[in-house]
Amino acid sequence: MEWNAPEKPAEITEKRLIEAIMDGHFPINSYLPGERDLAEQLGVTRPTLREAMQRLARDGWLEINHGKPTRVRNYLQEGNLAVLASIASHHDHLPDNFIYDLLSVRGLLAPAYTRLALEKQADGLIPLLEKLASLSEDAGAYAAADWNLHCQLTLLSGNPVFTLILNGFKDLYPAIGEIYFRSPEARSSSKQFYRDLLACAQEGDALRAQALTEQVMDDSLEIWRRITKG
């Protein structure tokens, strides 16, 4: 049995501050209240608050200058991969167009890591793609299978940076995938992609796999646009 350790006060404080920043309570370029007042508002000790704020400063959420008020940074421009993961884990406070922008970035990366995966380890991909032929018509099953496929593609590409970037939104993807794959069009498009990619893997055609991935990524963005507008 695996036990999850309870969150520490600094971790809870960090999450509360991120939510307050993302929902506009502490807007970008605003200044946080003084340490004593903020600690009282959050119901934590000042050492706990300092620990949380140091973490947020490290990742690009805050700018701390001793003797001056703490500034809320433009985290979308000054943050790092940790900010991406934090944003993705706060589903109820996402910036406008964040999901579409996130999927757009995946659309730029996926063709590259798919080509590399087929160039380096096409044989390792074939068993996974063969299993996808019997995927049930369930949105959750599709979301899980699609996430696993892209994770495996990044791993097989041999470039761990692809995996790190993809993992940045692993908490958000199930919710996105559940919505996306409710669409019969989305499921049909992905199932055809899995079949075509299997053929590419069997033939060792990495360039065709790259082109197929570019097309399905473009198609998925258009499907997502229609789903969310409808």
Q: Which residues contact 35 (CB under 8 A, 6 or more apart)?
A: 46, 49, 50
- Residues 101 and 113: their CA atoms lie apart, in Å, by 19
Exposure b/e, 7-27, CB count within 10 A at least 16 = b: eebbebbbebbbebbbeeebe
pLDDT of residue 6: 67
The CATH number fitting domain 9-91, selected from 3.40.50.880, 1.10.10.10, 3.40.640.10, 1.20.210.10:
1.10.10.10
pLDDT tens, residue by residue, 144-193 = 999 999 999 999 999 999 999 888 888 888 888 989 999 999 999 999 99
**Which is nearest to 171 in space by CA: 152, 149, 191, 143?**
143
Q: Where in the chain is the domain with CATH 1.10.10.10?
A: 9-91
Which residue ranges does the chain devote to CATH 1.20.120.530? Answer: 98-229
Q: What is the pLDDT of residue 172?
A: 83
Task: Collapse the DSSP code of 76 into the 3-class scheme (helix H, G, I; strand E, B; otherwise coil) and give the result.
Answer: helix
C-alpha span between 72 and 56 (Å, rounded): 10
Q: Which fold has domain 98-229?
A: Four Helix Bundle (Hemerythrin (Met), subunit A) (1.20.120)
Per-residue pLDDT at 3: 55
- Yes or no: say if 108 and 144 are a contact pair by the CB < 8 Å rule: no
Q: What pTM value is reported for the model?
A: 0.79
All residue ranges of the chain with pLDDT < 50 are none
Give the gyration radius of the chain's Cα atoms: 21
**Rounded to whole angstroms, how far apart are CA atoms 76 and 97?**
13
Whole-angstrom distance, CA of residue 115 vs CA of residue 113: 5
